[in-house]
Amino acid sequence: MWAEIAKYYRNNTWIPIIPGFKDFYSRVEKAIRSVDPDHILWLDGNTYSMDSSGFKEILPNCVHAIHDYSNMGFLAGNRYTGTDEQKQILRKQYQRKVEFMREHKVPIWNVEFGPVYASPDQDDYEQINQERYNLLGEQLSVYREDRISWSIWLYKDIGFQGMVYASPSSPYMQLLAPFLAKKKRLGVDKWGRDDTYVKHIYEPLIQHLKEEIPEKYQRKRYPQH
């Protein structure tokens, strides 16, 4: 499949080729190179590109990508106040993600990062958003110090995570408004959701899982942000 994709786009300099199956990278790379020796390949690691420890070899003309989201940029995380401890957390998390690239002296692309933003119907939304702008600024300073390439997630959306967003008064947003309000109320978007109105429904299930899962595994996440 990847050979056919590469064949179709081999002369198109605007199309990146991003094979997304870490366990098959070596085989995929050979298939792509059989028809397209020129494109740079962008390689993601495991767990939303936060863990590159599974790579065992360096492939030619490839760049390794990371996702560097911070929990402090989301509703469930601690609010960012710019303490030295929080700045160290940002750097420690970033350094863990690029450890493989630094060890092997290969290029790095931070393909995704960025906070979500509070909407005007939330209490203290202006202060929350200023804190997240500050978080974003600190992350950019980390990348500038390390001189890596980056692309933010995302440029434009409907008013949640984009640097710019569709006007709430536009016909499109007016059409979607009731549905978006329902989604927010029900907390159906895992990405940065607010579970205020549904927490009482899920808490019994979460408590049940905690009772059944051995305590030593309950806080074991792979990997940490």
pLDDT tens digits along 139-184: 999 999 999 999 999 889 988 899 889 999 999 999 999 999 898 8
Asked which of 15-19, 27-31, 152-156, 181-185 is least confident by mean pLDDT, the reply is 15-19
Determine the Cα–Cα distance for residues 85 and 2; give it in Å rounded to an integer. 44
Question: What count of Cα atoms within 13 Å lies in the side-chain half-sphere of residue 133?
Answer: 8
Residues of the chain with pLDDT > 70: what percent?
92
Listed in order, the ranges of the chain carrying CATH 3.20.20.80 are 2-168
The 3-state DSSP class for residue 2 equals: helix
Strands 164-165 and 41-44: unpaired
The 3-state DSSP class for residue 219 equals: coil
pLDDT score at 71: 92
Examine the pLDDT at 224 and tell me if it is beyond 60. no
Determine the Cα–Cα distance for residues 133 and 187; give it in Å rounded to an integer. 24
pLDDT score at 98: 96
Examine the pLDDT at 21 and tell me if it is beyond 70. no
Residues of the chain with pLDDT > 90: what percent?
49
pLDDT score at 184: 86
Contact 54, 125 (CB under 8 A): no
SS3 assignment for 53-117:
CCCCCCCCCEEEEEECCCHHHCCCCCCCCCCHHHHHHHHHHHHHHCHHHHHHCCCEEEEECCCCC
Examine the pLDDT at 75 and tell me if it is beyond 90. no
Confidence of residue 225 (pLDDT cuts 50, 70, 90): low
Residue 67 CA: distances (Å) to CA of 10, 36, 216: 27, 27, 27
Complete DSSP assignment for 146-215: HT-EE--S-SEESSSS-SEE--TTSHHHHHHHHHHHHHHHHT---TT---TTTHHHHHHHHHHHHHHS-H
Q: What is the CATH number of domain 2-168?
A: 3.20.20.80
Determine the Cα–Cα distance for residues 79 and 72; give it in Å rounded to an integer. 6
Examine the pLDDT at 72 and tell me if it is beyond 70. yes
Mean pLDDT calculated for residue range 208-214: 91
Mean pLDDT calculated for residue range 210-218: 87
Contacts of residue 74, Cβ cutoff 8 Å, sequence gap at least 6: 115, 116, 192
Report the 10 Å Cβ neighbour count for 225: 20
